[in-house]
Amino acid sequence: TKTPDRASENVTDVLDPENLKKILASDPRPLAVLDKDGIYMLIVSISSEDEKNFTVQVDMSLKGTYGYLSAVDWPFLPFYGVMCGVYVLYAIGWLLVSALQWRDLLRIQFWIGGVISLGMLEKAVYYAEYQSINYTGYSVQGAVLFAEVLSCLKRSLARLLVIIVSLGFGIVKPRLGAMLHRVIIVGGAYFIMASVEGCLRTLKPKNNPDHLQTFLGVGLALVDSGICWWIFSSLSQTTRTLRLRRNVVKLSLYRHFTNTLIFAVLASIVFMVWVTFDHRTVECLTDWKELWFDEGYWQLLFSVVLLVIMFLWRPTNNNQRYAFTPLLDAADDEFDEDFQQPANDAFEGMKMRGGKPGSLPSKDKQDNNSAEDDLKWVEETIPSSLSDTALPSLMDSDEEIMTVRFERNKME
């Protein structure tokens, strides 16, 4: 540390704006020069010669070779710059493929576009804030709070996106029904809690214990755990439904999506264990330059998961194969009813042998008698071997029935 003789000058002369300008103009050298990044303590001692009470305003400026950002926060500047560029590429790529297939876009794909837009705006605001601090040395509190609220909104929307995808909205079922209110309540609760916790974390000094912030952090962890359980239980039900319907295309899509979420959960658990033992439980933190990674890791993990979701649900020429089809993706009861309908139509007018005598109206007895005569003639005339041979052609397999219904749906 080098301390010039000017540090012993009269304090009142140094604090005077005019004298300060003259001093900086004549000798721009700082009061102290540090040749190594680190954590330092600056002690300022001011005493009065006549021992009277006085008020002193001290303006302290700490500037490195790269700007006013501290060594702990400086890595965020290039990090958010790179992340902003990544989200710009995400947005451009998603916009191009969506424009090519704009006629067949799914509602899920609009949700993905909204998450990308919020992520791009969030990273741009954070980068602008750190760039402003590095250039001027002052932090605009309103911009920081705005960026934090944007981040909470993006995280909430992302969780809602994963929930509605796991529920099969737009792919297995046409609407969420009563489940929509639960989704909105969970998303709103998470957004409110995350916004309050983020604003408190931004406004209050770091490493300053606060009971409300701790309570909100625990609440967010519980809400995240509940959302995680809801997502995987819904995915289990959705994949089971697709297996019953033998929809191989959608089942493969959901299997890849489930594997991606499992990877994200495992990566989160491993990182939290590492942070706990490496940064939280140590008495002397030596790798303080890596503290920025505690926050940057979650941004990187989210961007990777979002990229996988974009790839799985990208707009293609066969985009509608992932969409909900009213005939193919109806509910189980509707499916059974539609499956039995062709048989009912084919055998309409035949006598039900299990029915009670006299259950039919008297005006239909003559028609039924003629139908019985026709059946009797068929049994006597057509050999049983011929009927056994022709019967399988009339009773289509499940795959053929599904194909026929899909073709009918396209014609309609």
Query: Which tens digit of pLDDT belongs to each residue from 6-46?
Result: 443 433 344 455 555 544 554 456 677 777 777 777 888 88
The pLDDT, as a whole number, for residue 116 is 93
The pLDDT, as a whole number, for residue 304 is 93
**From CA 235, how far away is CA 171, in angstroms rounded?**
12
State the pTM of this model.
Answer: 0.67
Which of 255 and 368 is assigned the larger pLDDT? 255
Least confident of 123-137, 219-233, 332-346: 332-346
Least confident of 117-126, 138-147, 198-207, 394-403: 394-403
The pLDDT, as a whole number, for residue 341 is 45
Which of 238 and 331 is assigned the larger pLDDT? 238
Q: Are 161 and 115 a contacting pair, CB within 8 Å?
A: yes
What's the pLDDT band for 315 if we cut at 50, 70, 90? confident
Q: To the nearest whole percent, how much of the chain has pLDDT over 70?
A: 66
The residues near 104 (Cβ < 8 Å, ≥ 6 apart) are 315, 319, 320, 323
Q: What tens digit of pLDDT does each residue of 177-186 get?
A: 778 888 889 9
Q: Which tokens hold the place of 401?
A: 């029935």
What's the pLDDT band for 350 if we cut at 50, 70, 90? very low
Domains and CATH numbers, the chain: 1-60 (no CATH), 76-322 (1.20.1070), 332-411 (no CATH)
Mean pLDDT throughout 249-268? Answer: 88
The pLDDT, as a whole number, for residue 89 is 96
Q: Are 109 and 98 a contacting pair, CB within 8 Å?
A: yes
**From CA 386, how far away is CA 389, in angstroms rounded?**
5
The pLDDT, as a whole number, for residue 366 is 55
**From CA 119, how far away is CA 305, in angstroms rounded?**
13
The pLDDT, as a whole number, for residue 286 is 72
Q: Please state the length of the chain.
A: 412
Task: Compute CA distances 324 → 96, 192, 320, 327, 411, whole Å.
Answer: 24, 33, 8, 9, 16
Secondary structure string (H, E, C) spanning 258-310: HHHHHHHHHHHHHHHHHHHHHHHCCCCCCCHHHCHHHHHHHHHHHHHHHHHHH
Q: What does pLDDT average to over the chain? A: 73
